Amino acid sequence: MPPKALDYESLNENVKKVQYAVRGELYLRASELQKEGKKIIFTNVGNPHALGQKPLSFPRQVVALCQAPFLLDDPNVGLIFPADAISRAKHYLSITTGGLGAYSDSRGIPGVRKEVAEFIERRDGYPSDPELIYLTDGASKGVMQILNTIIRGEGDGVLVPVPQYPLYSAAITLFGGSLVPYYLEETANWGLDLNNLRQSVAQARSKGITVRAMVIINPGNPTGQCLSEANLREILNFCFHEGLVLLGDEVYQQNIYQDERPFISARKVLMGMGLPISKEVQLVSFHTVSKGYWGECGQRGGYFEMTNIPPQTVDEIYKVASIALSPNVPAQIFMGLMVNPPKPGDISYEQFVRESKGILESLRRRARIMTDGFNNCRNIVCNFTEGAMYSFPQIRLPPRAIEAAKRAGKVADVFYCLKLLEATGISTVPGSGFGQKEGVFHLRTTILPAEEDMPAIMDSFKKFNDEFMEQYEDHRGYSRM
Amino acid sequence: MPPKALDYESLNENVKKVQYAVRGELYLRASELQKEGKKIIFTNVGNPHALGQKPLSFPRQVVALCQAPFLLDDPNVGLIFPADAISRAKHYLSITTGGLGAYSDSRGIPGVRKEVAEFIERRDGYPSDPELIYLTDGASKGVMQILNTIIRGEGDGVLVPVPQYPLYSAAITLFGGSLVPYYLEETANWGLDLNNLRQSVAQARSKGITVRAMVIINPGNPTGQCLSEANLREILNFCFHEGLVLLGDEVYQQNIYQDERPFISARKVLMGMGLPISKEVQLVSFHTVSKGYWGECGQRGGYFEMTNIPPQTVDEIYKVASIALSPNVPAQIFMGLMVNPPKPGDISYEQFVRESKGILESLRRRARIMTDGFNNCRNIVCNFTEGAMYSFPQIRLPPRAIEAAKRAGKVADVFYCLKLLEATGISTVPGSGFGQKEGVFHLRTTILPAEEDMPAIMDSFKKFNDEFMEQYEDHRGYSRM
């Protein structure tokens, strides 16, 4: 009998080729161990609430009221909800066409898109058009839609930083395109070097690939660096001269842990560059409610803003978004609240500021504890996490460890991370899941475990690493291989 | 200068080829008219809350509490929430890994998938495995993922009923496959004739297409028919002999408006057919919180259940689901509530039954009012809506109307529906958006306008249709073309 359509051997090859390490072998093993009763510290995904971060009160109050609009008529509602949450809930319900239970326009609720445009204008100092802002079920879905629009086949290449967040490699593979890597410089604090970029493009072209777009992740995931304005200007210039669409993954824009390099959006830099560049470079920027001090990952809310994209293309993107009808409406409300939080004088303002500052300041301290912790470990070097939510230490694995991994049929950093998981319960992602230079090994961990648990986690890591290095380093004066 | 990647001429051709009429020309024109101040009755999408249907209280109370878990400690919470909603909220929060703000497993929360499996078992009388149930952001997203897994290129065909819900044609085009139509028989109450099916497959094969899968929509969209058990058995037999995956779109299973043909799931029929068929036919069944008496479209919640799909394929589907991290968590809770509603004896039971019965009974009456209304119109015939949410009358357009449409550069039913919209504000979808036999014209309308508005809407429709037919019918004894 011939294989059936959903037998493995007859599936879409692009589906089979996809790799997605964030929930790959390490995560599956961690889930197994958890089922067996082992305590697991999941640092594989940037999922703050799963590690105990409390949601911000005000947005949750507003969305709860939107879910239960009958409460707005309840005489007791004021006993458990503040007045400004009640009035905001009424505002959001008034701009839906049937509350949270009705599909919105496939691009999102017009009133929320307007609030997003106003936020962008305040942030960047340039006007933003709500018609060019589409709300999505999280940023990943938006990235996937744009890549699907761009990629026509394997001759189409997309420049992606390496190390990269594997959403990009996975989506490019799924849509049948070619990933064109450009390497970030670990010794220059994961900086982006234009010469590398040019070489990558030249190399891809020599293989017959048409490079169509470039991805930047700012602040970096997994690398944590913040791009400077000068660097962004170079990138935009490069995109202009090469005719590339720039995809700006800016989901960590609230997560900044140093003062030297504040976040600056690609759009702001572009607008400041003047003609012809400011009217020519096609830019799509992504944002989310999942990161920042919100961490509302489970709600699945995001947006993308299109700059210099022709109206006909904007319509095509709308049409394809329509197939799945609309992004989820509750997360659209979260997006509205994120870009339009309580203002000074509002009843909930002080609580909101206290909660959000508390989270951000703690993340800043945790970024420092983690970087210092890794740098105190034998054979480990780690750049400081300037932004985002991750630490990405380099692990200098001794040749005997690499040999042992080979014998076990594992990539060397997978081998290391599995041992770490079994010994300590710390669930990380091996650097090979993000891409790294040949023969260099890393792991990614989030900086999200609770601050009070952090010293114990780093002690437990150090103890494991000492023992691992002890076991595999060559102390007997034998020559290394 | 060569076109840039997001210029229209250089987009992915499959994106450009996609057609999606539910939010197509008619919808866009209706939105324009609404902006100009005209009152529009949106019957183009099955979006009950947008037309005034009230959400069920109990599930909204539970999800509101899950959004605002701090309320569970508030001494006043019992004043505005019933005790069983409070305990259900605690239950759902206890099976998440950080509340609604944390990503769940990419397949959905294990505890909710277990509740879905128990529901299926109660419904069908056969055990169901939670490991083979994946939660999704609405049923459409699930359908798209499965089609993307199956389709390898334009040589792969998927059998789709015509008329069909355009999700299928759109997704097949987007993924680069071939739609293989099989026609439903309007004169046999939109029944499915196996001979038609065989002919469609033979014809596709003669063009070199490998037919890999078959879609059924039961109850039908836009056609409203319910498949009989005997018919389902024939279909499953056919899939067995042809080696086809069956995709069962069963999102309207709660929406049944007659007693002769209750809903029966494809899976129940399959399980009852015994070996080898029951272990051989690959089946994926889809369900949603958007339809039924819930109508929670804006929440975007759904699931699919896989039957006889090999474990390696199940893993591949998991991997691809992981790229976008997880379906939204609030809608997962709605799904849990839908499959596990209040039970007799629960505080909220009577209210829940009253609300849900009220909606269903009214829909049943509206289905009747609409069918009768259409059948009272000149040159219109309409099958009764046995299930789902739509009426799909055939409009027998006079040759002069078809001529006039041609002169206006419009498909004839688009011409008719645009005139209807301008005259009455009723926003429908032309039959050509769903597929129909050559020279036969329809429109689709939902049966969702408020029951009290229904007589006026049907009067307004009749008046328009009378005038339209008056204008275009030939009264002068001229010979028709």
Q: What is the pLDDT of residue A93?
A: 98
Nearest 5°: CA angle at A71, between A70 and A73? 75
Q: What is the pLDDT of residue A476?
A: 57
* Residue B479 binned pLDDT confidence (cut-offs 50, 70, 90): very low
Contact A390, A445 (CB under 8 A): yes
Contact A251, A290 (CB under 8 A): yes
Cα A463 versus chain centre, distance: 30
Tokens at residue B480, please?
């028709």
Other beta carbons less than 10 A from residue B147's beta carbon: 24
Contact A67, B66 (CB under 8 A): no
User: Which chain A residue is nearest to residue B329, measuring alpha carbons?
Assistant: A298
Q: What percent of chain A has pLDDT over 70?
A: 98
Other beta carbons less than 10 A from residue A219's beta carbon: 27
Contact A303, A290 (CB under 8 A): no
Residues 318-347, chain B: which have Cβ within 8 Å of A? 319-320, 322-331
Give strand ranges (E) for B308-446: 380-381, 390-391, 394-395, 426-427, 429-430, 443-446
Rounded-to-integer distance, Cα A33 and Cα A335, Å: 36
Rounded-to-integer distance, Cα A56 and Cα A254, Å: 15
Query: How close A183 comes to chain B (CA, Å)?
Result: 22
Rounded-to-integer distance, Cα A159 and Cα B412, Å: 47
CB hemisphere CA count around B191 (13 angstroms) = 12
| Torsion sign (Cα): B37, B39, B42, B48 | positive
- Give the nearest partner residue to A299 out of B4, B282, B328, using CB atoms: B328
Residue B154 has pLDDT above 90, yes or no: yes
Residue B326 has pLDDT above 70, yes or no: yes
DSSP secondary structure of A264-309: --HHHHHHHT-TTHHHH--EEEEEESSSTTT--GGG--EEEEEES-
Query: How close A388 comes to chain B (CA, Å)?
Result: 17
Nearest to B395 by CA among B377, B370, B409: B377
Tokens at residue B163, please?
């008329």
Contact B182, B161 (CB under 8 A): yes
Residues 148-187, chain B: which have Cβ within 8 Å of A? 148-152, 156, 167, 170-171, 174
Q: Quick one: angle between helices A194-206 and A229-242, nearest 10?
A: 20
Cα B256 versus chain centre, distance: 14
Q: What is the pLDDT of residue A2?
A: 82
Nearest to A74 by CA among B78, B194, B218, B175: B78
Buried b (16+ CB within 10 A) or exposed e, A236-255: bebbbeebbbbbbbbbbbbb
Tokens at residue A140, please?
């990943």
Q: What is the pLDDT of residue A480?
A: 42
Which chain B residues have a beta carbon less than 8 Å from that of A322? 20, 22-23
Q: Which residue has 């324009």 as its token pair?
A: B32
Q: What percent of chain B has pLDDT over 90?
A: 91
Q: Which CATH architecture has domain B8-39+353-472?
A: Alpha-Beta Complex (3.90)
Cα B355 versus chain centre, distance: 22
Domain ranges of chain B: 8-39+353-472, 95-339
Q: Mean pLDDT across the stretch B209-236?
A: 96
Find all residues with CB under 8 Å of A427, minimum gap 6, and list them.
A26, A27, A30, A40, A41, A42, A43, A44, A421
Of B40-54, B290-304, B384-398, give the lowest mean pLDDT range.
B40-54
Q: Which CATH architecture has domain B95-339?
A: 3-Layer(aba) Sandwich (3.40)
Which chain B residues have a beta carbon less than 8 Å from that of A282? 4-6
DSSP secondary structure of A355-414: HHHHHHHHHHHHHHHHHHHHHTSTTEE-----BSSEE--EE---HHHHHHHHHTTS-HHH
Q: Mean pLDDT across the stretch B249-278?
A: 97
| Torsion sign (Cα): B360, B364, B367, B369 | negative
Contact A415, A409 (CB under 8 A): no
CA distances from A133 to A129, A185, B39 (A): 7, 33, 27
Residue A373 has pLDDT above 90, yes or no: yes
Q: What percent of chain B has pLDDT over 70?
A: 98
Rounded-to-integer distance, Cα B70 and Cα B247, Å: 42
Q: Is B298 in contact with A102 (Cβ distance < 8 A)?
A: yes
Mean pLDDT of chain A: 95
What stretch of H or E contains A143?
Answer: helix A139-150
Convert the pLDDT of each residue in A404-429 to its tens digit. 999 999 999 999 999 999 999 999 99
Q: What is the DSSP letter of B256?
A: B
* Residue A370 binned pLDDT confidence (cut-offs 50, 70, 90): very high
Residue A335 has pLDDT above 60, yes or no: yes
- CB contact A80 to B (< 8 Å): yes
Q: Which CATH architecture has domain A8-39+364-472?
A: Alpha-Beta Complex (3.90)
Buried b (16+ CB within 10 A) or exposed e, B325-346: bbbbbbbbbbbbbbbbbbeeeb
- What is the maximum alpha-carbon separation in chain B? 81
Select the more confidently predicted residue: B481 or A29: A29
Convert the pLDDT of each residue in A121-152 to its tens digit. 999 999 999 999 999 999 999 999 999 999 99
Find all residues with CB under 8 Å of B56, minimum gap 6, and list them.
B293, B294, B352, B355, B356
R_g over Cα of chain B:
23
Mean pLDDT of chain B: 95
Which residues, in sequence order, are bridge partners of residue B444? Answer: B429
- Give the nearest partner residue to B5 out of A22, A213, A300, using CB atoms: A213
- CB contact A68 to B (< 8 Å): yes
Residue A240 has pLDDT above 70, yes or no: yes
Q: Mean pLDDT across the stretch B110-120?
A: 98
Contact B292, B253 (CB under 8 A): yes
Q: Is B101 in contact with A296 (Cβ distance < 8 A)?
A: yes
Contact A4, B282 (CB under 8 A): yes
Query: How close B398 comes to chain A (CA, Å)?
Result: 32
